[in-house]
Amino acid sequence: MILDPDNYGFNPGTGPNGVGCHYDGKYVFMPSDDGGNFGAAGGGSIANALSRDLFVGFSVMPAAGQSLSISGIDTGFQYSFGGEGRTLLLHLRYRLGEGDWHDLPVSGYEILPGFSTTNDVSIPLSQESALQDISVPVEFRFYLYSAQEDARYHPVSMYRSEGAELMLRGSVETVGVPGVPSGLRGVIQNGQIMLAWNPLAGVDRYRLRWGSSAFNLGNVVDDLSQASLVMSDPAITAFFYTVEGVNSFGAGVASELCRVGLTANRAPVLIGIGAKSVAPGQTITFQIAATDEDGDALQYAAEGPQTPDR
């Protein structure tokens, strides 16, 4: 997108020419073409803003098994332009997945210029039927533009007078089985196996399955209310674990296998050197090598008979 968040914003007195300069707040952006002009020759318009991609945006992805209904957006903008009459206008667009764009002009709202002027806005969306009971990603874009020809050189900040700079209001409902848990991991510490995974949305409980092989997960720990578990290590061997989320719709797909435990140390294997012969009184030289399936560092030593065979 053309809006450039990195080309402006200085602390007071640290302007590019060493003289005083104002500070432009958080999330600073401005067009990177035409001297940062939010306007256009003959007067800016939403059509011009769309053609130049003058937007900042964000996306929302409902969790698996969850339905999202969006009721509104709260945000605000600060425009550092010091001149009169250089207000900016706001236009909202959204789309579901890769579908068509929906246009929502934010009527009656202007971003007034001023170094310390905040322009809060609350955009109601509960009447947008397309934004109710959704289970696909939603992308939002704020298009900002000036109806004037010249609105150059000064950036806009996403900034509210209080609270977070951007708030999405709505509700979530569980409509299916949970998604696949991720991040299952475990360690052995003080004779216990400590397991944890990333929490899932829309779960009533977790179910952990484990066994001595990846094909034998006959042990079950059910009714786990949090995304972690500490259990005694039943033996110094390897064990395999999976976890799944459960709610009123059933159990979701299990996580990837996680292997936790210790295995017995395996001896290194010496690579054969073959038959060797040497004449009496002569020296024989050869190299030896070995492999270790556990990846342990190897040391080499040789020991011969006390009295050589003759």
CA distance linking residue 301 with residue 268, whole number of Å: 13
CATH of domain 3-174: 2.60.120
Q: Give every residue of the chain whose pLDDT is below 70, as ranges.
A: 1-26, 82-85, 233-238, 262-266, 293-296, 304-310
CA distance linking residue 198 with residue 63, whole number of Å: 13
Domain regions of the chain by residue span: 3-174, 185-261
Read off the pLDDT of residues 198-248 as tens digits, 9 standing for 90 and up.
Answer: 999 999 999 999 988 888 899 999 999 999 999 876 554 568 899 999 999
**Superfamily of the domain at 185-261:** Immunoglobulins (2.60.40.10)
CA distance linking residue 162 with residue 60, whole number of Å: 23
Can you give the pTM of this predicted structure? 0.69
